[in-house]
């Protein structure tokens, strides 16, 4: 079975919004459903994603690591940001034209300096958590990985293998490289909340319509 991780990586409870707008996206529930369907047979996971939410990526990472059957990961285009975490979940290959990108975790905050100090602390802790996937894959010291993340490092196929982030350069297929801005597929929080409110309003109206029919 081939499982494709294309587009932005988002949480399972927000996937319907991306589907609504026909935006390519993948969530942990998608991957878990596919792995359940695979039921122990060989699985190839292809990645062409510019990243997304780190905790959704972490859930996918663990689901792949826990799969009972043989699993191979193939980076066919871009594995950037959160997608590079997923790429570390097992034995991996990369197309000669593909790339990885790893960087610090980012977010937004609003408030006084106490809030900003706390946000900085949370982000630094998140960096350490994310670095664990790269440390486990490469065997490199945590601080070295954190330094690489701090520079926002773009990594070619050859460099990825040399660093130990990827096990082998794929010899089967050469894929066309398409440049993309990482994180560009993520919808803004304002859009997410608006769609959630719209869904609630639509559901409420449907219930009212049903009541009127009964009356």
- Return the CATH number at 123: 3.90.226.10
Together in a domain, 202 and 113:
no
Q: Which has the minimum average pLDDT: 72-81, 143-152, 164-173?
A: 164-173
- Report how far residue 150's alpha carbon sits from residue 29's, in angstroms, rounded to the nearest whole number: 30
Together in a domain, 205 and 137:
no
Higher pLDDT among residues 62 and 185, named by residue: 62
Together in a domain, 15 and 102:
yes
Place of tokens 């590079």: 84
Residue 182 has pLDDT above 60, yes or no: no
Structural domain total, the chain: 2
Contact predicate 77/46, CB 8 Å: no
Supply the range of the domain harboring residue 215: 186-215
Together in a domain, 161 and 69:
yes
Together in a domain, 86 and 166:
yes
Together in a domain, 52 and 157:
yes
Together in a domain, 196 and 156:
no
How many angstroms separate the Cα of 129 from the Cα of each of 50, 52, 63, 198? 19, 16, 17, 35
Q: What is the mean pLDDT of the chain?
A: 88
Q: Which has the minimum average pLDDT: 40-44, 173-177, 204-208?
A: 173-177
Q: How many CA atoms lie within 13 A of 6 on its CB side?
A: 8
CA 155 to centroid of chain Cα atoms: 17
Together in a domain, 16 and 99:
yes
pLDDT band at 178 (very low <50, low <70, confident <90, very high): very low
Together in a domain, 199 and 140:
no
**Two tokens at 9?**
């990586």
Together in a domain, 149 and 208:
no
What secondary structure letter does DSSP report for 52? B
pLDDT band at 175 (very low <50, low <70, confident <90, very high): very low
Burial class (CB in 10 A: 0-12, 13-18, 19+), 111: exposed
Full-prediction pTM beyond 0.85? no
User: DSSP of 93-117, one letter per residue?
Assistant: EE-TT-EEEE--------SSHHHHH
Report pLDDT for 109.
Answer: 79
What is the percent of the chain where pLDDT is above 90?
68
**Two tokens at 125?**
């802790």
Together in a domain, 133 and 154:
yes
Together in a domain, 180 and 203:
no
């Amino acid at each position: 079975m081939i499982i494709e991780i294309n587009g932005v990586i988002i949480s399972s409870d927000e996937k319907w919004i991306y589907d609504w707008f026909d935006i390519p996206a993948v969530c942990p529930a998608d991957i878990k459903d596919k792995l359940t369907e695979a039921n122990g047979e060989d699985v190839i996971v292809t990645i062409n994603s510019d990243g997304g939410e780190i905790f959704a990526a972490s859930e996918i990472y663990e689901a792949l690591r826990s799969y009972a059957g043989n699993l191979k990961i193939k980076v066919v285009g871009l594995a950037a940001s959160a997608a590079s975490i997923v790429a570390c979940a097992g034995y991996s290959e990369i197309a000669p034209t593909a790339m990885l990108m790893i960087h610090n975790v980012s977010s937004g905050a609003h408030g006084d300096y106490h809030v900003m100090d706390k946000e900085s602390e949370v982000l630094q802790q998140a960096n350490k958590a994310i670095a664990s996937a790269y440390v486990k894959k490469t065997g490199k010291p945590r601080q070295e990985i954190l330094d690489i993340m701090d520079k926002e490092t773009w990594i070619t196929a050859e460099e990825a293998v040399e660093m130990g982030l990827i096990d082998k350069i794929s010899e089967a297929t050469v894929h066309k490289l398409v440049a993309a801005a990482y994180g560009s597929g993520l919808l803004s929080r304002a859009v997410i909340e608006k769609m959630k409110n719209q869904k609630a309003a639509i559901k409420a109206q449907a219930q009212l319509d049903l009541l009127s029919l009964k009356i």
